Copies of this chain bind each other. A is one copy, B any other.
Amino acid sequence: MTLLHAIYLIAISAEAASGALMSMQRRMDLFGIAVIGTVAGLGGGTVRDILLGHYPLGWIAHPEYLLFTVGSALTAALLANRFQRLEKAFLILDALGLVAFTVIGCEIAAAANVHVAIVVLMGMVTGVFGGLLRDILCGQVPLVLRRDLYATVALMTGVLYVGMLHFHVNREMATAMAISVGFIIRLVAIRYSLALPVPEVEAHRFEDERSSDVG
């Protein structure tokens, strides 16, 4: 097992735990918790592979990945009320997952012979779509679209990785560099609450549509 593969298993487990915590807030039952955890952990790679037409999907070829996500989600549910103390560890694992997913996504897209912009984009999709689907299933406007240097970290990680490959840096070195640098940027973004600007907008025509009709 390579280091990247080990990091991948940690990452899907960390994301599954994040999904479990959010689904508990929505009073889901144990099945719902397992589903949301699995979607959070494996959804990004699944969306990427469907967009690329890259079959079989990772977890269909390797069903043991589901043991990690379901196991991690249910464990997180059991431990949830102690989890506040673990929040820091959890954010760090999630940051590691984000950058690991991104690098893995870039690698798989690169093997599919697509344009370099699509390679980076597929890295981002892998990094952020698990959380995005988790939020939609929980009935929430995706956090990743609203705040934080989260997707931006995925973008920077992907550009760095693809750039190094372009300049013939060896693959192991590029992987290690991209993960390390992306990870540090993400931790700095958390520490200093860095965020992209949110443009201000005046009330306008969509407003009245929203306020009526939807109970």
Contacts and interface: CB of A to CB of B under 8 A. Distances in A.
What is the copy number of this chain in the assembly?
3
A108 to B, nearest CB: 13
A30 B210 CA distance: 20
A27 B197 CA distance: 10
A78 B207 CA distance: 19
A135 to B, nearest CB: 9
A163 to B, nearest CB: 17
A204 B83 contact: yes
B146 A210 contact: no
Chain A contact residues: over half helix, strand or loop, or mixed?
Answer: helix
A143 interface: yes
A167 interface: no
Which size class do A's interface residues fall under?
A: 35 or more
Interface in A72-111: 77-78, 80-81, 83-84, 87
A71 interface: no
B140 A210 contact: yes
Contacts of A28: 141, 145-146, 198
A31 B81 contact: no
A204 B84 contact: yes
A172 interface: no
Given A145-B35, A214-B139, A121 B26 contact: no
A152 interface: yes
Nearest to A62: B115
Interface of A: 21-33, 35-36, 46, 50-53, 55-57, 60, 63, 66, 77-78, 80-81, 83-84, 87, 114-115, 117-118, 121, 132, 136-148, 151-152, 195-202, 204-207, 209-210, 213-215
